[in-house]
Amino acid sequence: MNKIFKQVIGWFIAAVFFFPIYFWITVSIKKDKDIFALPPKLFNFDVSFSAYEEVFGLSRFLYVEDMGAVRPGGGDFYMMPFLVDSIIIALGSTGLAMLISILAAYSLSRIPIKGQQHFMGWILSTRMMPPVAVAIPMFFIYKNIGLMDTHLGIIIIHALMNLPLAVLLMKSFFDDIPKDIDEAALLDGASRFFVFWRLIVPLAIGGIAATAVLCFIFSWTEFIFVLMLTQTGLKTIPVVSTSFVTSTGTAWDNMAALGTAAIIPAFIFILLVQRHLVRGLTLGSVKQ
């Protein structure tokens, strides 16, 4: 009896947390009149995929006669360029952060340095910086060196944002690999770099994948850096989503379509590395 009770409560909690997401998905496939219906229409609504067609540009080819129709905000909801921007930035910043952090984490795990604890504390302190406190000075620095409003600028700042996570997490994965492997190979005359590249990296590949997924997701969902360090050149999904709210009304269905489409790939990625998720969320300090 107790077991069944636990199951029921557990599923109820899951349902409560899932409900807003379900509601958001229904908004993306509802027609305008059903979006604003009270009591809310949770199941009995007419399904329409026009929001997805507009956001992904299908309507450009399918319904040419609709092009002149006035929609809230003036009406262009073609979002593919911003989706591409988001993917470029997330992949680029993940690559950069991983490259830097794998090297540093291996060293922190294997080659003792003076003041290692302080160095780690410094890395962790970087994780505490409020984005606004970084973005305001970065705004002026980027203006001076020409990185303002560029993909490279956002890639660098997102990589920086993810570095503490990536370094600390990768260190914890390297720490799991016995040091005997390194020592044996070093005694046989292999160089440190050879040991790292040929022996340790292949062993840590699961951890590398988990770290990369988390970096990708945090870049994919980041908001304030992109808001402050771009103007017209590029936009990522979270920032462009807010542009659906305009003085003439809000295109809820389009916004929900874009939001739903943005969540799905991130969710698939995170399920793939669920085994390491808690370790990742705690920067490597809680092992599952």
3-class state of residue 256 by DSSP? helix
Binders of other proteins in range 63-102 (CB under 8 A): 99-101
List the one residue from 1, 39, 68, 70 that touches other proteins (CB under 8 A). 39
CB of 188 to other proteins, least distance (A): 15
Question: Tokens standing for 91?
Answer: 């992949």
CB of 78 to other proteins, least distance (A): 19
CB of 198 to other proteins, least distance (A): 13
- Burial of residue 243 (CB within 10 Å: 0-12, 13-18, 19+) is middle
115 binds other proteins per the rule CB under 8 A: no
Is the distance from CB of 179 to CB of 110 less than 8 angstroms?
Answer: yes
45-72 core/surface letters (b: 16 or more CB in 10 A; e: else): beeeebbbbbbbeebeeeeeeeeeeeeb
52 binds other proteins per the rule CB under 8 A: no
**Nearest by Cα to 210 from 173, 183, 241:** 173
CA angle 158, 160, 164 (to 5 degrees): 115
Q: 32 vs 69, 71, 180, 256, CA distance in Å?
A: 15, 12, 64, 12
List the one residue from 84, 136, 205, 272 that touches other proteins (CB under 8 A). 136
List the one residue from 141, 181, 184, 205 that touches other proteins (CB under 8 A). 141
Taking contact as CB under 8 A, which single stretch among the options 45-53, 70-78, 119-127, 204-212 is the one that binds other proteins?
A: 119-127
List the one residue from 58, 88, 91, 104 that touches other proteins (CB under 8 A). 104
184 binds other proteins per the rule CB under 8 A: no
Binders of other proteins in range 204-263 (CB under 8 A): 217, 220-224, 227-228, 237-239, 241-242, 245, 250, 252, 255-256, 259, 262-263
Complex with other proteins: residue 66 or 177, whichever CB lies closer: 177
155 binds other proteins per the rule CB under 8 A: no
Helix and strand numbers (H, E) in the chain are 16, 2
Q: What is the largest CA-CA distance in the chain?
A: 74
124 binds other proteins per the rule CB under 8 A: yes
Complex with other proteins: residue 62 or 183, whichever CB lies closer: 183
List the one residue from 29, 138, 185, 229 that touches other proteins (CB under 8 A). 138
